[in-house]
Structure 1
Amino acid sequence: MEDFVYFFTFQDPSIAWVVLGITLLGVGSAYVGTFSFLDKKALLGDAISHAVLPGICLGFMVAGEKNPVYIVSGAFLSGAVATFMSSWLKRNTKLSEDTIIATILSVFFGFGIVLLTALQKSGNPEIAGLNSFIFGNAIGISEADLMLYGGLSLVIILVLTILLKEFRLMVFDPEYGKAIGFPMKSISFLFNVLMILAVVIGIQAIGVVLMAALLITPGAAARFWTDRLNPLLILAALFSVLSGILGTYVSFVLPQMPTGPWVVVFLSLFALISFLISPKSGIIFRYFARRKYLRKTHRDHLMKALYKAKENGKSGLTIAEIYQLYPYQKAATNHSISGLSKNNFIATNQSLISLTESGISEGMRIVRLHRLWELYLNESMNIAPDHVHDSAEKLEHLITPELEALLEKRLNYPALDPHQETIPRENHDLR
């Protein structure tokens, strides 16, 4: 608890710098990652994050020490070469994009490991801590490093904010952007530069192995919650920042723990929660929504069956007859009967179930929609009368009063469906 208070009250100025740096890094990475996720460039981000390792090692060799300017420059050049090779191979070979990216990732990362191993055996005392670039160590970053990485993150955030409209066109409709005069190739090139830069500035905090997760996971998790770009960017940034701070806190409390894996653990937790409980897209929400829909359709079908029985001159249907209509659905049928009775749509007299006044009106509406859809499918879609029933069964539950009026007008206010059954109207009295 003392560690928690000490960390989150920023009693040590270095902690405040680390939190500020990881916040800027999280926002910048989330912004770039969200656009790359929407533009289907997730694999490219993974390749770049692995491809910067040789540049890190070469930057260290040139400087002879862990100079952040040399390391960032080397990493950026290495990532740029990997991106250029990926684009060149895609244009000039028949290799698939995933094959190209996998090859570049493996070759560059393997070369980087060879250089890192050679540096470790060189005896240079400055090599200590270079391994942190593999899995990241935010707590071990110096104030000078944070100034550089934080400044570059701020540049990314500002560029993406100022050119939001241009990057939106790049992702959603580049052809339209080109048609109205935007230089889409230059915008795409600038975005690739920003993506490389986002990877480079995160490598010491998160590590080359897991930096792709910081790029892609926040946007993917936020996508479960919204379909709009601005809220998507904000949510992705929030998930990224929270994960970065929590992962850094674990590294602070347990110094032997690298930052990167814990950041990914918290990101994965946010993604899992989003996958499970987000409105409309969450698997739990969809489960209950589907369950509710199936119960509604079963009640509608039961109402329709009772209305058709009344059309045929019967006062209702017995429980046994209803069970025969829906074999193997006894529990669902009992639930529908209970719900309709509670809403005063049906009345039960011993074993006979019949429609009430309000039930007749509701049953008529469902039958009317079903027969309108059957006629529409037959006349407008040229589907044979004996093939329209199943489709109409699904469509009858998905209609608004406005669409119903439009459908009826389109069919010229018909009286009969394709089976020559009457399409009931409001004044259609079966009492």
Structure 2
Amino acid sequence: MKEYFDLIISDYTLRTITLGTAVLGAVCGMLGSFAVLRKQSLLGDAISHAALPGIALAFLWTGTKDGHVLLIGALISGLLGTFWIRGIISKTHLKSDTALGLILSIFFGFGMLLLTFIQKMPNANQAGLDKYLFGQAATLVEIDVWLMSVIAGLCLLVLILFWKEFKIMLFDPDFTKTIGFNTKVIDILITSFIVLAIVLGLQTVGVVLMSAMLLAPAAAARQWTNRLGVMVLLAAIFGSLSGIVGTAVSAYQNNLSTGPVIVIIASVFVLISFIFSPNRGLLFRQLRFARNRRDLHMHKTLAFMYQIASTHQNISHPHAIKILNKFQGFTRGTLKKLEDKDFVILEGNEWRLTQEGFNVAANLYNQQKKPNE
């Protein structure tokens, strides 16, 4: 690890790629949180695929493979696809998922057609445009990192300035309209930044995998918190770590492409979050289910005890104890738990209710009886 950090400091290419992927991951995590919470998970996929024909058309128009020129074309194409999606949803009876899938297919198909046409042109300069399909992080240069950093700063500034508006529109769009906020402007603003972040990531991660870069950190962060601010912060951290670790793994294994490795690392964060997060994780959910099942079994046992003991004036009467010990609907684990709570007393192989256990059982029995009445 120390050697790797020393290499980052000394090696220009590795330092540039690491900083670029870290900044890109942070921006995608922040903006992806809003896409996930707005249930627009397919939006990132649609925008990234919609950007492909813009790259091809920018090359055909200028005849150059300058990355900034191609990204401008991708930005225009991505914004155009986004506004078409909004128009289809607002002007027709089609749902958002249908509009997203439709624009994704049309733009991506048109982009692949243009790429095929370009590859057959008698011009050696056209080679290499296919790197935008799966990304090529090694092509990042220092100016790209500066551009990503500026966009990240603008994104953070906009989130701070319009945090209240974004938050209200996210959870209650109707209330946002009633208090006078222009929801269209707010929606266009956040969507435009999402498009910008996706376009910036095309060179690193590529068209095909960019949606995962946008959604995976946000999906992982959502498992750990119910607060929007904490989720945005965690998503930025997960995205940044995915970029740094993915770059490190890719640098260690020369045959691995950086973009897919970053997406795999982000998926690992999602998997860990789905399993180990305290509130929503599958592991803790199963533990809570097992605990609730034990408590339910204990309550049923106490309710039965009450039915038997309530028919006798003395809950310690030998006849009551004999009836209780003939009951087979309990387990030794349940009895041990009841004993730890001082609800029952175990004497050898026999057990009986304590007065405290009788009172608790009476309350449980009465609560179970009221709904039936």
Whether these two folds match at TM > 0.5 is: yes
Q: Is 1:315 aligned to residue 320 of structure 2?
A: yes
After superposition, residues 251-330 of structure 1 pair within 5 angstroms as 251-313=250-312, 315-316=320-321, 318=323, 321-323=326-328, 326=329
Q: 1:278 to 1:30 in 2, by over 3 A?
A: same
* Deviation of the 1:206 alpha carbon: 0.9
Matched, 1:362 2:361: no
Contact 2:242/2:263 (8 A) holds in 1: yes
> Where in structure 2 are the equivalents of 1:27-426 lying within 5 Å?
27-313=26-312, 315-316=320-321, 318=323, 321-323=326-328, 326=329, 333-349=331-347, 351-356=349-354, 360-372=355-367, 374-375=369-370, 377=371, 388=372, 418=373
SS in 1 for 2:22: helix
Q: Return closer, same or farther for 1:68/1:277 CA change in 2, 3 Å cut-off.
A: same
Q: Partner letter of residue 359 of structure 2?
A: M
Structure 1 position 223, deviation (Å): 0.8
* Offset of residue 35 of structure 1: 0.6
* Distance in 1, Cα, partners of 2:281 & 2:36: 19
C-alpha displacement of 1:26: 1.3
Distance (whole Å) between structure 2 residues aligned to residue 147 and residue 58 of structure 1 = 26
Whether contact under 8 Å (2:51, 2:75) holds in the other structure is yes
The answer for the alignment partner of 1:401 in structure 2 is: none
C-alpha separation in 1, matches of 2:297 and 2:184: 54
User: 1:148 and 1:342, CA in 2 relative to 1: closer, same or farther beyond 3 A?
Assistant: closer
- The whole-number CA distance in structure 2 between the counterparts of 1:40 and 1:133 is 27
CA distance in 2 between partners of 1:191 and 1:124 (Å): 39
C-alpha distance in 2, partners of 1:215/1:197? 12
Structure number with the bigger relative contact order (C-alpha 8 A, sep ≥ 6) is 2
Q: CA deviation at 1:2?
A: 8.2
Provide the secondary structure at the position in 2 that maps to 1:45. helix
**Cα contact 2:343–2:356 (8 A) shared by 1:** no
Kindly indicate whether the alpha-carbon contact (under 8 Å) linking 1:90 and 1:96 is maintained by their aligned counterparts in 2.
Answer: yes
Amino acid at match of 2:357: E
CA contact (8 A) 2:342 2:357 kept: no
One-letter amino acid of the counterpart of residue 289, structure 1: R
**Aligned residues of 2:201 and 2:210 also touching (Cα < 8 A):** yes
Q: Distance in 2 between matches of 1:261 and 1:240?
A: 14
TM (norm. structure 2) is 0.91
Q: CA shift at 1:254, angstroms?
A: 3.6
Superposed CA deviations along residues 129-151 of structure 1, whole A, max 9, x for unmatched, are 32221111223212233333332
* Distance in 2 of aligned mates of 1:60 and 1:129: 11
| One-letter amino acid matched to 2:327 | I
Q: CA deviation at 1:157?
A: 2.6
Q: Give 2:315's aligned residue.
A: none
Deviation at 1:293, TM superposition (A): 1.4
Say if 1:137 and 1:251, in contact at 8 Å, map to a contact too.
no
Partner amino acid, structure 2, of 1:11: S
Write the distance in 2 (CA, Å) between the matches of 1:366 and 1:202. Answer: 62
Return the letter of the residue paired with 1:292. R
- Partners of 2:301 and 2:49 in 1: how far apart? 60
Contact 1:24/1:154 (CA < 8 Å) preserved in 2? no
SS at structure 2 position matched to 1:309? helix
- 2:316 is matched with none
Residue range with higher mean Cα deviation, 310-319 or 212-221: 310-319
Q: 1:273 to 1:47 in 2, by over 3 A?
A: same
The alignment status of 1:26 with 2:22, answered yes or no, reads no
Could you say if the C-alpha distance between residues 353 and 374 of structure 1 is closer, same or farther in structure 2, counting changes exceeding 3 Å?
same
Distance 1:352 1:252, change over 3 A: closer
Tell me the distance in 2 between the aligned counterparts of 1:129 and 1:143. 20
- 1:339-390 per-residue CA deviation (whole Å, 9 max, x = no partner) reads 223444222345542112xxx3233234324424643x4xxxxxxxxxx2xx
* Percent sequence identity over aligned pairs: 37
Unaligned runs of 5+ in 2: 313-318
More displaced 10-residue stretch of structure 1: 91-100 or 214-223: 91-100
Do the aligned residues in 1 keep the contact of 2:88 with 2:99 (CA within 8 Å)? yes
* Greater Rg by CA: 1
For 1:280, give the aligned amino acid. N
Is the 2:20–2:140 contact (alpha carbons within 8 Å) kept by the matching residues of 1? no
Secondary structure at 1:280 match in 2: coil
TM-score, length-scaled by structure 1: 0.79
Q: Evaluate the alpha carbon distance shift between residue 128 and residue 245 of structure 1 in structure 2; reply closer, same or farther with a 3 A threshold.
A: farther
Is residue 308–residue 324 contact of structure 2 (8 Å, CA) maintained in 1? no
RMSD: 2.2
Three-state SS of the structure 2 residue aligned to 1:205 is coil
1:163-185 superposed Cα distances (whole Å, 9 cap, x missing partner): 21111112111222222222211
**Residue 296 of structure 1: how far off its partner (Å):** 1.5
Opposite residue 227 of structure 1, the aligned amino acid is N
Does structure 1 conserve the Cα–Cα contact (< 8 Å) formed by 2:242 and 2:265?
yes
How far off is 1:103 after superposition? 1.6
What SS does the aligned partner of 1:266 have? Answer: helix
Asked if the contact 2:20–2:144 (Cα under 8 Å) also holds between the matched residues in 1, the reply is no
- Count of residues in correspondence between the two structures: 367
Please say if residues 318 and 353 of structure 1, whose CA atoms lie closer than 8 Å, have aligned partners that are also in contact.
no
**Preserved contact between residue 224 and residue 278 of structure 2 (Cα < 8 Å):** yes
